Amino acid sequence: MKLKILLVDDEKDLLNILSFYLKKEGYDIEEAANGLEAFEKTQTWHPNLIISDIQMPLCNGLQLLEMVRTLPPPPIPFLFISGYAGSDLMASTQLKEIQHFISKPFKIKILLDKVKSLSSSPLDIAVGH
Amino acid sequence: MSNAVTTLLTFYTITIVINIAIASLQYAFYRSRVHITILFYWIGILIAAIINTFFTDLNFQLVLFAGTGTFISQTILGAFFCQIRHVSINLKLILSLFLCTTLISYGVSVFNNNFSLYSLIFIIGATAPLLISCHQVLKSPLRPLTLIQKIFCFLAIIMSLHYTTWAFTRPQPELFDLGLIVAMIITSILSILTPTMANEYSLQQRMERLETEVHLRAEQLTQAEQKLWESNKFASLGRMAGGIAHEINNPLSIIYMHAENLKESVQAGIVDTEEVLRSTTKIEEVVERISKITTNLRKVARDKNTIQKNWEDLQKIINETTSLCNDRMKISDISFTLHSPPGPIPFYCNSIEISQVLLNLLNNAIDAIENTQKKEIHLTVEKDASTLIISIEDSGHIDPQHIPQIMEPFFTTKSIGKGTGLGLSISKSIVESHGGRLFLDMSSITTKFVIELPYSENTLPMEKSL
């Protein structure tokens, strides 16, 4: 079965090029422009992995993580991508729990490798709890 | 010695002693060199008076002692006058003249025992220093003489003349007493003049010192103000730095990935022309986005002194400045609205300073509401024939007890590192330097800052040159 990845970013161009690469790798991709949309898609589509930006309008990546954690198991691993390194937000305790983080800008190979390692060791990837 | 002479001499001596006391007191108070000079003068005069009284034989020895006393005191008095007028005393001329007259006088005394003749020669050299000094002062037109100084010059001439008459009055007791009376009058006048002159000088010195100090302080203040301005500018730019980094990193990611895609296709030998075109177009688009940010950033970060007031489009300044805050607002999920009349708004200003004010107010608004429930910022521009009003309203509130202090420098409610407390005070002074005012609209329920600027729509098109 194809691994289902939900891509969340408010940057349309970034979503396009990311999904282009991930689809080429053979993953099943869905896109969401913000946290709220992503949460709805999580509930209906049940992705195996969520790759999300942190700063987004309406509902940011961290709020999305909180909401997804309230869903019944299995827990969905998160991979965060953000260009807002070094900010107050990054210092928040919540963010310290995040194990998988790539800061923008990044090489696509780094993201693909990370996705590959996350999908091959599903036990490792549970975030939090 | 007659009783009258003794009384006169006693008075004379008392006058001198009183002057010594006054000079000492003045020195203790002002600590100025001129008081020391005048102190020495009076001491010299006292010694000369004593010599004059106790040497009764009319010979060269009397002339030498009394005359040298006169020479020293006249030189000191001349030095005093030169000191007061900031002129250097011509010691070379004074000393060589004195030496010459002394030698000539001695020579004459050896060959011709005429007391009046050789003492006159001696006294000319002894009284010259004061006249030379007066000439020195009058020669340099540094500052006009004060009334007291003019009187002093006049008295100096009289005094020198009086000293020369000593050569003829000394041998005749009646005339000598008369001379003593004249000397007393001169000394009395002098004892009024010298402390006044010294005082005048000390006060003037003090005033000059104060003036220099004021200039120095004013300069320091200007420098400090400039530093404050700079630190505030960079503080407010720093507040946006995170947002700007985010705003730039996103397009950079897009460029990165498109470039990788292109490289891979070339390496694989598959070049899809359409895809290449799509990727390069996308790259161009986002590069433009980044360059817009950096351009705006550079505009705000420039040194304000590099540009002068000019005709600028206020609309453009507002757009450029708000674009820098957009990302901070987006991240904090703040809804921002901008209402302004259509078309350019020509306005004579320093664009960097005005954008600095807007940046300060917008940053303050964001800081105030980013962690609140309702997050709204409205920027409104209104204009009529004579006024331009820019109001920045956010959905927050200012604690009423802070309102009287908000415009004061270094007042901040933000945590350390987040605010310098300079934003509003600097903004206020910038707006005021543009002839306007910045104030908190007390009639508004939420926080609303208003910038009111004088504006004229009837500027000549030539002047506008936008």
Average pLDDT over residues B43-70: 81
Does any CB of chain A come closer than 8 Å to the CB of residue B414?
no
Q: pLDDT-derived band of residue B78, with 50, 70 and 90 as boundaries?
A: very high
Whether the predicted pLDDT of B409 surpasses 80: no
Give the pLDDT confidence score for residue A17 in this predicted structure: 87
Cβ–Cβ below 8 Å for A17 and B330? no
Cβ–Cβ below 8 Å for B242 and A86? yes
Picking from B242, B256, B330, the nearest residue to A105 by CB comes out as B256
Residues of A in contact with B256 (CB under 8 A): 105-108
Average pLDDT over residues A20-46: 88
Residues of B in contact with A7 (CB under 8 A): none
Cβ–Cβ below 8 Å for A57 and B253? no
Q: pLDDT-derived band of residue B418, with 50, 70 and 90 as boundaries?
A: low
Picking from B243, B253, B331, the nearest residue to A105 by CB comes out as B253
Cβ–Cβ below 8 Å for B249 and A84? yes
Does any CB of chain A come closer than 8 Å to the CB of residue B287?
no
- Nearest chain B residue to A88 by CA: give it: B242
The more confidently predicted of residues A5 and B416 is A5
Residues of A in contact with B250 (CB under 8 A): 11, 14, 83, 104
Cβ–Cβ below 8 Å for B250 and A103? no
Share above pLDDT 90 across residues of chain B, in percent, rounded to a whole number: 14
Cβ–Cβ below 8 Å for B253 and A60? no
Average pLDDT over residues B251-260: 87
- Nearest chain B residue to A53 by CA: give it: B250
DSSP state of B145: P
Cβ–Cβ below 8 Å for B250 and A83? yes
Give the pLDDT confidence score for residue B450 in this predicted structure: 92
Cβ–Cβ below 8 Å for B258 and A104? no
Cβ–Cβ below 8 Å for B256 and A107? yes
Whether the predicted pLDDT of B378 surpasses 50: yes
Residues of B in contact with A84 (CB under 8 A): 242-243, 245-246, 249, 331
Whether the predicted pLDDT of B132 surpasses 90: yes
Give the pLDDT confidence score for residue A20 in this predicted structure: 87
The more confidently predicted of residues B407 and A68 is A68
Give the pLDDT confidence score for residue B1 in this predicted structure: 54
The more confidently predicted of residues B93 and B418 is B93
Q: pLDDT-derived band of residue A12, with 50, 70 and 90 as boundaries?
A: confident
Give the pLDDT confidence score for residue A123 in this predicted structure: 44
Residue range B20-55, pLDDT digits in tens: 888 888 888 878 788 888 888 888 888 877 777 777
Average pLDDT over residues B197-203: 86
A74 to chain B, closest Cα gap in Å: 30
Q: Which of residues 322-361 of B touch A (CB under 8 A)?
A: 330-331, 333
Q: pLDDT-derived band of residue A125, with 50, 70 and 90 as boundaries?
A: very low
Average pLDDT over residues B70-95: 90
Give the amino acid at A81.
I
Alpha-carbon distances of B8 from B182, B252, B373, rounded to whole Å: 11, 104, 99
Q: pLDDT-derived band of residue B228, with 50, 70 and 90 as boundaries?
A: confident
Whether the predicted pLDDT of B243 surpasses 70: no
**What value does the mean pLDDT of chain B take?**
83
Both ends of chain B: CA-CA distance in Å?
Answer: 99
- Nearest chain A residue to B254 by CA: give it: A14
Q: pLDDT-derived band of residue A127, with 50, 70 and 90 as boundaries?
A: very low
- Nearest chain A residue to B334 by CA: give it: A57
- Which stretches of chain A sit within 8 Å of chain B by CB? 10-11, 13-14, 17-18, 20-21, 55, 57-58, 60, 81-89, 103-109
Cβ–Cβ below 8 Å for B245 and A83? yes
Give the pLDDT confidence score for residue B127 in this predicted structure: 92
Average pLDDT over residues A42-71: 84
Q: pLDDT-derived band of residue B99, with 50, 70 and 90 as boundaries?
A: very high
- Nearest chain A residue to B331 by CA: give it: A55
Average pLDDT over residues B61-80: 88
Residues B300 and B317: their CA atoms lie apart, in Å, by 10
Q: Kindly report which listed range (A41-45, B62-66, B107-111, B420-424) carries the lowest average pLDDT score.
A: B420-424
Give the pLDDT confidence score for residue A126 in this predicted structure: 42
In the β-sheet with A101-103, what is the strand arrangement from edge to edge?
A: A28-32, A4-8, A49-53, A78-82, A101-103
The more confidently predicted of residues B44 and A19 is A19
Residues of A in contact with B330 (CB under 8 A): 10, 55, 57
Whether the predicted pLDDT of B213 surpasses 90: yes
Residues B213 and B220: their CA atoms lie apart, in Å, by 10
Whether the predicted pLDDT of B417 surpasses 80: no
Give the pLDDT confidence score for residue B270 in this predicted structure: 81
Contact A119, A111 (CB under 8 A): no
Q: What six digits make up the tokens of B290? A: 């980044």
Test the A interface: residue of B250, B272, B329 with most A CBs within 10 Å: B250
- Nearest chain B residue to A10 by CA: give it: B250
A111 to chain B, closest Cα gap in Å: 11
Closest CA to B163 of B151, B152, B155, B173: B155
Alpha carbon dihedral B319, B325, B329, B330, in 10-degree steps, equals 80
Q: Kindly report which listed range (B17-31, B391-405, B409-423) carries the lowest average pLDDT score.
A: B409-423
Which contiguous run of DSSP H or E holds residue B322? helix B314-331
DSSP letter string, A44-104: HH--SEEEEES--SSS-HHHHHHHHHTSPSSPPPEEEEES-TTSHHHHSHHHHT---EEES
Give the pLDDT confidence score for residue B415 in this predicted structure: 61
Residues of A in contact with B251 (CB under 8 A): 13
Average pLDDT over residues B405-409: 73
B289 to chain A, closest Cα gap in Å: 13
Question: A103-107, B275-279, B324-328, B449-453 — which one is most confidently predicted on average?
Answer: B449-453
Please tell me the pTM assigned to this model: 0.51
Picking from A83, A88, A108, the nearest residue to B249 by CB comes out as A83
Whether the predicted pLDDT of B93 surpasses 90: yes
Residue range B135-190, pLDDT digits in tens: 989 888 777 888 999 999 999 999 999 988 888 888 887 887 788 888 888 888 88
Alpha-carbon distances of A118 from A46, A49, A95, rounded to whole Å: 17, 8, 19
Whether the predicted pLDDT of B434 surpasses 70: yes
Q: Kindly report which listed range (B177-181, B293-297, B410-414, B436-440) carries the lowest average pLDDT score.
A: B410-414
**What value does the mean pLDDT of chain A take?**
78
Whether the predicted pLDDT of B242 surpasses 80: no
Residues of A in contact with B243 (CB under 8 A): 84
Whether the predicted pLDDT of B211 surpasses 70: yes
Cβ–Cβ below 8 Å for B254 and A14? yes
Q: What six digits make up the tokens of B135? A: 């000439």
Residue range B279-316, pLDDT digits in tens: 888 888 888 888 877 777 776 666 666 667 888 888 88
Q: pLDDT-derived band of residue B92, with 50, 70 and 90 as boundaries?
A: very high
Q: What six digits make up the tokens of A52? A: 């999300």
